[in-house]
């Protein structure tokens, strides 16, 4: 297989113990425990080319983190196969571990009571990075993340945004070619989120690293990813471009209308009226994308319009609607993966 990440019918099933509440049920479970199988990931297939930034989306419990843990070698799959940069992840060969990194926004890889700089030196020793390379990489990361003012402070004294900067730096000191990022901006304020996104975009541009990103913040996805992979209940739902998904799931536009001098009009004659106003107080109507020009012309000619704007349906609404669709879009996703493998993209 070619490309940076290749996944074929990958599955992970957990055997989970269960029992009723109460003392008697607890006693019985000592002698006869009941189990049920839970499919965390079920026959997922996709391929990611070198240098791509791909959003990996799904609701809580969809199987995103389980997939990332298998691709980084932390978990063995129940079935299927995968390779990352030509390695089978769960073999955990040293060459593989030096080529990838996994950053989990809710996990801390830095020692809490010592400065981040000391954890960086520990990573230098673990990955056997020579001094010249270490200093060069740290200088580049300092340029992108502005680390100098914070890496000498104990990690416990850093803000959440500062700590995430150091977490990313620690994860990238060995120059990985593939980054698995699980909610790297979780809990951060808007400014810190924007800085992390800017860093990831520039890091990808400079190094050509492949990035597979999970996030519940759609601003992360729309800012960084042209392509998204969606899973739900462990199964593949969609693999393709964000624009293509919006066009397929919600082929409509929103027209925001503000009328002069508090004028009133029945906007339902022009399209489906949204229950909410937009941020500028305009009333919103939803119309098919192909009818936008004609509906806009009618609004301007028939009503005392003070201001008008045209918007896409929010990506959050598109994603939610896609999750609620019936069948997984396996047929749509697999040809894309196969095409990437054939071209080596």
Q: Contact, 68 vs 89, CB < 8 A?
A: no
- At 311, the pLDDT band (50, 70, 90 cuts) reads confident
- At 341, the pLDDT band (50, 70, 90 cuts) reads very low
Supply the mean pLDDT for the chain. Answer: 86
pLDDT beyond 70 at 345? no
- At 119, the pLDDT band (50, 70, 90 cuts) reads very high
CA distances (Å), origin 130, targets 35, 104, 307: 50, 26, 61
- At 43, the pLDDT band (50, 70, 90 cuts) reads very high
Q: Contact, 79 vs 15, CB < 8 A?
A: no
Arithmetic mean of pLDDT, 1-8: 84
Question: Going edge to edge, which strands form the sheet with 210-214?
Answer: 100-104, 178-182, 210-214, 53-57, 227-232, 235-241
pTM of the model: 0.81
Arithmetic mean of pLDDT, 135-141: 94
Percent of the chain at pLDDT exceeding 90? 53
Give the pLDDT confidence of 218-277 residue by residue, as tens digits. Answer: 889 999 998 999 999 889 999 999 888 888 888 888 899 988 887 888 888 998 887 666
Among the four given CATH numbers 3.40.50.300, 3.40.50.720, 3.30.470.20, 1.10.10.10, the one describing domain 5-99+176-246+319-343: 3.40.50.300
Residues facing 284 on adjacent strands: 256
d(CA 195, CA 213): 16
Closest CA to 285 of 305, 311, 303: 311
Burial of 245 (C-beta count, 10 Å sphere; 0-12/13-18/19+): buried
Per CATH, is 252-312 categorized as 3.90.1200? Answer: no
Question: What's CA 96's distance to the chain center, in Å?
Answer: 23
pLDDT of residue 122: 93
d(CA 327, CA 96): 35
Per-position b or e across 157-182, b if 16+ CB within 10 A of its CB: ebeebbbbbbbbbbbbbbbbbbbbbb
d(CA 19, CA 35): 9
- Which one has a higher pLDDT value, 228 or 25? 228
Arithmetic mean of pLDDT, 308-322: 84
Give the pLDDT confidence of 50-84 residue by residue, as tens digits. Answer: 999 999 999 888 899 999 999 999 999 999 999 99
Q: Contact, 4 vs 85, CB < 8 A?
A: yes
Q: How many of the other CB atoms lie within 10 Å of CB of 244?
A: 13
pLDDT of residue 279: 58
Q: Contact, 292 vs 191, CB < 8 A?
A: no
- Domain boundaries defined on the chain: 5-99+176-246+319-343, 252-312
d(CA 11, CA 70): 10
pLDDT beyond 60 at 102? yes
159 in the Ramachandran plot: left (φ > 0), alpha (ψ -120 to 50) or beta? beta
- Which one has a higher pLDDT value, 283 or 12? 12
What count of Cα atoms within 13 Å lies in the side-chain half-sphere of residue 44? 35
Give the pLDDT confidence of 178-197 residue by residue, as tens digits. Answer: 999 999 988 888 888 898 99
d(CA 338, CA 345): 11
pLDDT of residue 276: 60
- Which one has a higher pLDDT value, 334 or 303? 303
């Amino acid at each position: 297989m070619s490309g940076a990440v290749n996944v074929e019918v990958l599955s992970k099933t957990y055997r989970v113990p269960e029992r009723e509440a109460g003392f008697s049920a607890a006693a019985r479970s000592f002698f006869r425990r009941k189990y049920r199988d839970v499919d965390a990931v079920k026959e997922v297939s996709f391929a990611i080319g070198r240098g791509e930034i791909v959003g990996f989306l799904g609701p809580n419990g969809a199987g995103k983190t389980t997939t990332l843990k298998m691709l980084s070698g932390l978990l063995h799959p129940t079935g299927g196969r995968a390779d990352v940069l030509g390695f089978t992840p769960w073999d955990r060969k040293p060459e593989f571990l030096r080529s990838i990194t996994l950053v989990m926004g809710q996990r801390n890889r830095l020692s809490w009571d010592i400065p981040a700089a000391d954890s960086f030196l520990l990573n230098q020793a673990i990955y056997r990075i020579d001094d010249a390379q270490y200093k060069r990489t740290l200088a580049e990361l300092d340029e992108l993340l502005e680390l100098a003012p914070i890496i000498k402070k104990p990690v416990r004294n850093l803000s959440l945004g500062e700590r995430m900067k150091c977490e990313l730096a620690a994860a990238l000191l060995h120059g990985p070619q593939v980054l698995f990022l699980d909610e790297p901006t979780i809990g951060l304020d808007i400014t810190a989120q924007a800085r992390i996104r800017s860093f990831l975009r520039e890091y990808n541009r400079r190094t050509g690293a492949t990035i597979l990103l999970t996030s519940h913040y759609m601003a992360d996805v729309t800012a960084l990813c042209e392509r998204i992979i969606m899973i739900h209940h462990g199964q593949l739902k969609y693999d393709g471009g964000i624009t293509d998904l919006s066009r397929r799931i919600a082929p409509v536009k929103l027209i925001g209308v503000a009328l002069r001098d508090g004028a009133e009009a029945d906007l339902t004659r022009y399209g489906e009226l949204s229950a909410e106003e937009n941020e500028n107080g305009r009333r919103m109507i939803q119309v098919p994308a192909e009818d936008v020009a004609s509906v806009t012309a009618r609004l301007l000619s028939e009503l005392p319009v003070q201001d008008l704007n045209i918007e896409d349906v929010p990506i959050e609404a598109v994603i939610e609607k896609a999750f609620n669709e019936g069948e997984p879009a396996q047929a749509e996703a697999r040809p894309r993966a196969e095409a990437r493998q054939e071209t080596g993209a």
